[in-house]
Amino acid sequence: MSDPTPLLSLRGIGKAYGPVVAVREVDLDIFPGEVVAICGDNGAGKSSLIKVISGAEEPTAGAMSMRGKPVSFASPHDALEQGVATIYQDLALAPRLSIAQNVFMGSELTRPVLLPFLRILDKKRMISESQRYLSQLSAAVTDMTRPVERLSGGQRQAVAISRALRWNAEIIIMDEPTAALGVKESALVLDLIRKLKADRRTVILISHNMRDVVALADRVVIMGAGRKYVDRPVGDLTADDIAHMIMAGNAKAA
């Protein structure tokens, strides 16, 4: 890691739902341009941790900072405005709306009409900009007015990522991006993540697929029983090694 200041830094983060503690005292630093995989079995606390980072839920303990400045996200939108975008598996897109409508959802472009203060949607520019984002990701889609429901799973991910690019997100959180996809589509999504990395974006990847983790991540963080107990460069770890570490963590927790 050439850059010594972490982009995002968590200190002592905890998340409790009433008496149930899902995340305990997690310290985590994310550096610019890294791909960090967060792994762990179901119930290990990785989803809860991600919800805190993405602004979906507020932590019950600890503090977060970005580029050294303290931050707190009251909503996913808050996080988005600070440059942390989350690509949710199923929830992020409106299937019947067009690609352009989805990319610019919540941040539509407008142009003045007749009077300077009277602004209407700039549909042409939203279409051309969407096109630009998607070709940046080398996604082979040409018609930006097509409804998202007619796209393949991989193409939908590209649309969701385009929205993150539209927000100029520095950190892109991807929750199980290949879980629902076939082999070919998964390969497309892995390529998308490589493109983001080449573009110096920071990616936090939650995945059950150890081969994806080994193929893409610079660093792997393993959670178990709400705690972070592995945080190391992927290096020459194999998918099996990571799977074993996850199981070891479960054994420790039990």
Partner 1 sequence: MSRIDARSLIGHYGTALAGLALILFFLIFAPNFASTTNIVNVLKDTSFLAILALGFALAFTVAELDLSIAEMASLAAVVCGWMVHAQYPPAVAVAAALGVGVVLGGLNGYGVTVLRIPSLIMTLGTAAIAKGLAFMITQGVAFVGRWPVGFTGLARGYTFGIPNLVLWMTAATLFAWGLVKWTRTGAHMVATGEADEAARLAGIATARMKRIGLLLSGVFAGLMAALLAANLSSAAPNMAGDYLLYAIAAVLLGMTMFEPGKPNIPGTVFAALVLKVLGNGLVLLGAPYYIQDIVLGVIIIGSVAFSASAMKKAAFKV
The smaller minimum CB distance to partner 1, of residues 80 and 245, is found at 80
What x/- string results for residues 162 through 201 when contact with partner 1 is judged by CB under 8 A? Answer: -x--------------------------------------
- Could you tell me the smallest distance in angstroms from the CB atom of residue 146 to partner 1? 6
| In the chain, beta strands by DSSP E | 8-17, 20-30, 35-39, 61-66, 69-71, 84-87, 110-113, 115-121, 171-175, 202-206, 219-224, 227-233
Two structure tokens written together for 40:
């762990």
Ramachandran class of 251: left when φ > 0, alpha when ψ lies in -120 to 50, beta otherwise:
alpha
Comparing CA positions, the residue from 200, 209, 238 lying closest to residue 35 is: 200
With CB under 8 A as the contact rule, the residue among 105, 243, 248, 253 that binds partner 1 is 105
Two structure tokens written together for 112:
């003045």
Stretch that binds partner 1, among 24-32, 97-105, 151-159, 168-176 (CB under 8 A): 97-105
Residue 24 binds partner 1, judged by CB under 8 A: no
What x/- string results for residues 71 through 90 when contact with partner 1 is judged by CB under 8 A? Answer: ----xxx--xx----x-x--
Residue 110 binds partner 1, judged by CB under 8 A: yes
- Could you tell me the smallest distance in angstroms from the CB atom of residue 241 to partner 1? 35
Point out which residues pair with 151 in neighbouring strands.
none
Residue 107 binds partner 1, judged by CB under 8 A: yes
Two structure tokens written together for 225:
């029983």
What x/- string results for residues 32 through 71 when contact with partner 1 is judged by CB under 8 A? Answer: ----------------------------------------
| In 18-83, beta strands by DSSP E | 20-30, 35-39, 61-66, 69-71
- The C-alpha atoms of residue 26 and residue 61 are separated, in whole angstroms, by 10
- The C-alpha atoms of residue 226 and residue 138 are separated, in whole angstroms, by 38
The smaller minimum CB distance to partner 1, of residues 51 and 219, is found at 51
For partner 1, the binding residues in 111-130 under the rule CB under 8 A are 119-121
Binding site for partner 1 (CB under 8 A): 75-77, 80-81, 86, 88, 91-97, 101, 105-108, 110, 119-121, 143, 145-146, 163
